[in-house]
Structure 1
């Protein structure tokens, strides 16, 4: 127990193939400087050009609505831009029916002496507490066909595709 804590700390969850992953990231270098890459990733209308799930975007104030598809499943999400730091980072929080789902973002770092950019796409699962978590996980399964415990791996696969397509859009090899 921690000092002042009257409840024992839970034992760490063993690392198994069913352990829930809450955060992931993937990186790839693109052949443009961060200042040139930023407006590309921050133009949310272009997300459909490289994401394997996004098929349409509708900008809306300080955010947008994303329309997604995977196989027979179709769903939408409401996204609010939370970080817009030109040349460094772009991120947005995703909700569905008012429930917190995740944060998606792109961190940009100079590479190859500033002539290229290391783009790191990241995802943080926000479905963490009580009844909201359970409802969000059920909705996620119904709309995406993916159980919450498998979402991180599906997102990792999608990130790899997204980053390869982004690199091609920036003039690099796909």
Structure 2
């Protein structure tokens, strides 16, 4: 089996970093943006504006076609206004979002770091069309996620109605 493909992308958002952070820091909204993630709960940490998620556990439900599976992640990086990252136990992937101020607003970068496919990913592979095929879909999904975040922030919808 081939090694995982590197996944990364950036998008320019015509809004200040605080507005982008308000959306990205509310990780429970990620299902609104991700084509695969359907639900996400934060376990074991205080929620609300300004709450640190460092070390928090995230319970997720993913869906791809007919396949549905749970994920458990831990927030491994939390820099208010700048970055959030979580490592998914089942796949070994670390997903991160980093903000950088620009003259026109904010550059939002997303990345998945995965040194190798895990045994779990290899075994689940046939159910999800193969790990490499899923990797291609995740790359497209990363771009979709970034674009959806951009659209929400630029529309001024930093908090749910």
Output the CA distance in 1 between the equivalents of 2:69 and 2:126. Answer: 9
Structure 2 unaligned regions, length at least 5? 45-55, 156-161
Which residue of 2 is the match for residue 64 of structure 1? 58
The yes-or-no answer on 1:141 pairing with 2:130 is: no
Which residue of 1 is the match for residue 51 of structure 2? none
Alpha-carbon RMSD: 2.0
Aligned length in residues: 144
Output the CA distance in 2 between the equivalents of 1:63 and 1:142. Answer: 28
Which residue of 1 is the match for residue 53 of structure 2? none
Answer with 1 or 2: which has the greater Rg: 1
Output the CA distance in 1 between the equivalents of 2:42 and 2:94. Answer: 17
The yes-or-no answer on 1:52 pairing with 2:41 is: no
Deviation at 1:31, TM superposition (A): 1.9
- With normalisation by structure 2, the TM-score equals 0.80
Q: Do the aligned residues in 2 keep the contact of 1:38 with 1:90 (CA within 8 Å)?
A: no
The yes-or-no answer on 1:104 pairing with 2:104 is: no
Deviation at 1:109, TM superposition (A): 0.8
Structure 1 unaligned regions, length at least 5? 1-17
2:107 to 118, 125, 149: 118
The yes-or-no answer on 1:41 pairing with 2:18 is: no
Report which structure shows greater RCO (CA 8 Å, sep ≥6): 2
Superposition misfits of 4+ residues, deviation over 3 angstroms:
none
- With normalisation by structure 1, the TM-score equals 0.74
